Amino acid sequence: MAIFGKFFEAKKQLPEKEFIVLFAILTSLTALSIDAMLPAFPDISRDLNIQDYQHTQWIISALIFGMMFGEIIFGPLSDAIGRKSSILLGVGIYLVGTIMALCADSLWMLLAGRVVQGFGVAGPKIASRALIRDLYQGSAMARIMSYVMVIFILVPMLAPAFGQLIMQLGHWRWIFAALMIQALIASLWLIFRQEETLPKDRRLPLEVSRLINSAKFILSRKDVVAYTGIAGLIFGGLMLYLSIAQSIFQDVYQLGDNFPLYFAMVASGSGLANLLNARIVQRVGMKPCVAFALILMFSTAGLLSVLSMWYSGVPPFWLFMMLGIAMFACLGMVFGNINALAMEPLGKVAGLAAAMISSASSLVAIVAATLMGQFYHFTVTPLAFGFLIFSGLGYLLLRYARHYQHDEQTPSDNK
């Protein structure tokens, strides 16, 4: 009992490995809420009488749409009431949306539940990022974020297989029940083991004038705006892939129930890249890692675009897999650094900064992925050109950001 009681003792600073696992589980709620649904698209379409396959992409977009608005709220809220309370409030709203989706009897009811899910999951997503910024800075933060991202990616790698297993045992609605269990376990772990990292004397009241001044300060950082654009474009590539992956593997390449296996193989590139990034970023630096990843992604996507056109939209499967793994490795390295770069100079307003960066990048991602997704007609070509365009624009933004150096200026310094 003494050991049990010791475990459920909140600590100001958790052991690093436990900290990484806890916050990977919390933040992976977002990715798991997306990826576990992918194998269920055909069953959902049949049960809810969805006639147009492209409408199944809305199941992904609805969650991101709700998350975009939740991020705006939970950022300043986490600065006002604390990181821990914001995470738990967000999980509570997420559970309400999950129950709505579980009980949905129409596409519109399902989409409404997904929007509420997205709004709620913004709480752990944003407040966790601010909490990590409270404890770590610079390349140390990038290292922690990279390790978090390894688990963050490994969990959704297995999510399609998990979703498919649940459907074999029961019904696609059970996926939502599993998501509820994960959210509850993570919440209890947080309650008992992690102390609040934002003391009351450092909290910022929800005052409109203060929020406006802080927002102006964040937007005045041209490097932060550029990094946010990069994050949005790369997230857009991920959203595009997620929205059409099930169809590519099962409709284009006719892989049937092997879809989760190959989905995991492609995503493995991202996990390995984050593990590598965590080991080298403090020696090499964040910007060189991002630049290398964007250049390699552009080159790989360009090659896939040429091959896709050469093979009438369907290159040999082994080529698609090889280049797909490489592109996702680049994606993982960008994700492991770009949020840390954007957050680095904004510690004084970490909650609002995390909200604005994440919300703006989500908006860019939704627009980019939706536009490219409209070109999908059972070929690989839109995916290849999407990654080519997004990585190219991302590299241009990185070059733009290099003209601006981080400094120690804060919102109060501008007054």
What structural domains does the chain harbor? 17-195+218-402 (1.20.1250.20)
Cβ atoms of 183 and 30 within 8 Å: the answer is: no
pLDDT at 157 over 50: yes
Please tell me the predicted confidence (pLDDT) of residue 348: 67
For residue 132, the cross-strand partners are none
pLDDT bin (cut points 50, 70, 90) of residue 408 is: very low
Q: Percent of the chain having pLDDT more than 90?
A: 28
Amino acid in position 274: N
Please tell me the predicted confidence (pLDDT) of residue 334: 87
Please tell me the predicted confidence (pLDDT) of residue 147: 66
Phi, psi values for residue 334, rounded to 5°: -65, -50
pLDDT at 9 over 70: no
Among the listed ranges 102-106, 139-143, 277-281, 400-404, which one has the minimum average pLDDT value? 139-143
pLDDT at 10 over 60: no
Phi, psi values for residue 316, rounded to 5°: -55, 145
Residues 150-168 have a mean pLDDT of: 72
363 closest CA partner among 229, 192, 184, 204: 229
Please tell me the predicted confidence (pLDDT) of residue 137: 67
Please tell me the predicted confidence (pLDDT) of residue 269: 78
Among the listed ranges 122-136, 156-170, 356-370, 372-386, which one has the minimum average pLDDT value? 156-170
Cβ atoms of 350 and 130 within 8 Å: the answer is: yes
pLDDT at 383 over 90: yes
Residues 71-82 have a mean pLDDT of: 86
Please tell me the predicted confidence (pLDDT) of residue 352: 75
CB proximity list for 254: less than 8 A, separation 6 or greater: none
pLDDT at 339 over 90: no
Cβ atoms of 391 and 90 within 8 Å: the answer is: no
Report pLDDT digits (tens) over 37-64: 888 888 888 888 877 766 777 888 889 8
pLDDT at 13 over 80: no
pLDDT at 315 over 90: yes
148 closest CA partner among 277, 282, 262: 277
How is residue 11 annotated by DSSP?
B
How is residue 249 annotated by DSSP?
I
CA separation for the pair 354, 218 (Å, rounded):
10
Phi, psi values for residue 172, rounded to 5°: -60, -25
Please tell me the predicted confidence (pLDDT) of residue 127: 85
Cβ atoms of 366 and 377 within 8 Å: the answer is: no
Please tell me the predicted confidence (pLDDT) of residue 126: 82
Among the listed ranges 56-65, 97-106, 265-274, 320-329, which one has the minimum average pLDDT value? 265-274
- Distances in Å between the Cα of 276 and the Cα atoms of 6, 135, 191, 248, 329 are 34, 22, 32, 29, 10
CA separation for the pair 26, 41 (Å, rounded):
25
Residues 218-234 have a mean pLDDT of: 89
pLDDT at 406 over 50: no
Report pLDDT digits (tens) over 84-140: 999 999 999 999 999 999 999 888 999 999 999 999 999 998 888 778 777 776 666
- Angle (CA) 261-252-325 rounded to 5° is 45
Q: Per DSSP, which regions of 53-123 are E strands?
A: none
- Distances in Å between the Cα of 121 and the Cα atoms of 30, 150, 274 are 6, 19, 23
Cβ atoms of 263 and 241 within 8 Å: the answer is: no
pLDDT at 3 over 50: no
178 closest CA partner among 34, 36, 28: 36
Structure tokens at 305: 């675009």
Please tell me the predicted confidence (pLDDT) of residue 140: 66
**Residue linked to tokens 């770069």:** 341
Of 116 and 13, which is predicted with more confidence? 116
Query: If you average pLDDT over every residue of the chain, what do you get?
Result: 82
74-95 in b/e form (b: 16+ CB < 10 A) is: bbbbbbbbbbbbbbbbbbebbb
